[in-house]
Structure 1
Amino acid sequence: MTITMAELPDLGKHCGLGSCKQIDFLPILCNFCQTYFCKEHIFTDDHLCKAVNSSAPKVLGKIGTHECSFPNCCHRDVSRLECPGCSKHFCLTHRFPDTHSCISYVPPKEYMPETSKLVRKIQEKAVQLSRPMVGKSSKMSAKVQLMKIKQKAIGLNNIPQEEKVFFLVKSEKGDIPVFVSKYWSVGKAVDSIASLCNVVNNNHKLNVPKLCLFKEDTNLYDRTGAKIMELVESEFSHSGSTHTLKLFISE
């Protein structure tokens, strides 16, 4: 069934502005001229209300609007949202006391402060325990590996047992356990390890990539004159540590 406007003559009203006359099903009555207008022309400035005079209260030229009291906020509301603390009107965004720095606002106290403090301590301790103990962990893993490679390591037979320092060397030939003398320089140890691992070594030549030992990403090229025992005593390396033998292009 179709309902036409002729059948509902009292439904809605035409906008009182002569240039509009649009029918509005929810017309709004102007408080000054007592004329109905559509939502687009309800404000006094929009329909050039002649009933407004200098003695009538004005709210920024808008009927029934309330400007938000928050600095630099231009939002206006038809209904007044008054803050119970400072009795000022604020828009929906700034209506809460903590959002407009209300003079009566008191920050809530921390619930169960002692419990919160205890929880923070437990969390901090858990974070500390989760951090890797790099120095101790490296030394311990070297000791464990030393026990595994000691019996299989290869090296020069004339090195006394008390002078031996063991390494697991990763090279192009695979993982090979070796031992060197703690009194050797890093350069001499590299030459011996290269020979033991059957890796080509051109360190005696100029302007060619140098064969070097690496501990993780640290290159020992600049320590070729240092003694193996100095690296062990400074805990830069340990007997049983893993080193990589690979080429390094020096500048």
Structure 2
Amino acid sequence: MDLPTIGAHCALDACNINDFLPIRCRCDKLFCKDHISPETHACPTLIQTKDKPTISTPQQKLQRCAADKCNKPSLEAFVADSSDTNGRTPAVCERCKQSFCASHRSPASHSCTAPDPHLPPPRNEAAKAILAQIFPTRSSSSSSNTSSAVPVKRKAAVPANPRKAAQLRQVELMKMRHRAQPADPRDQNRNVPIGERLHVKISAENKDEEKLFWFQKTMATGKALDILAAHLEMSSNKAPLYLCRDNGSEQEGDSVLQNDKLLADQIEDGSSLILRH
């Protein structure tokens, strides 16, 4: 069986190599990449002068290779004006869209800095920054002491717009669920589902620093008060302690939680609490 003919032989008799990707010169002959230059195959379009051969007016308009310090004609220059261009893909770099010679046609050969269209685009930096704020990297392991809960600064006032306030609360709750540690040391190694946890921000009286913890929803308020007092190093020997909702006021009033009731029955998930004397 005869092998199929692929490519064409270089028209230069001294070469005659079978090139799989021959290039057609303006003299309508096919050459390999090494002899496509008009000077190398004595192209009839050259005009002989007394000093040196020059290219005739049509040939002088050939586009050179876009690679730095390369004087070879580009591949596209030889076929751009051809009549047989229907359905032909331009001989340009698919990244930077510039035309190069056969030696520099690949992006690696001409050090192409344009992005690869086949690779996914880089992630938006602004989106990455937002994700980093909502889901910061946890620096503490599951075996660390719960008393080293990550302290956070008190937040600014809640927006007056109800919709914005609700959005802010959802974002804050996502942060708490990611960063809060179990307040009860017995829950340290327990697999408590997220839906059975009650996340709180706790601060001591007259202090702006808050810590993030979570309790099981079956925790009694009095027990939670004792656990939080140990974390905040507050004692009830001289004066009783009260666990209160943080309503932004120095007045206790109805904000004091009842110790004989469940904590989950008196506050919502993500509430801020203050431990006061």
Q: TM-score range by the shorter chain?
A: 0.3 to 0.5
Larger radius of gyration: 1
TM-score by structure 2 length?
0.33
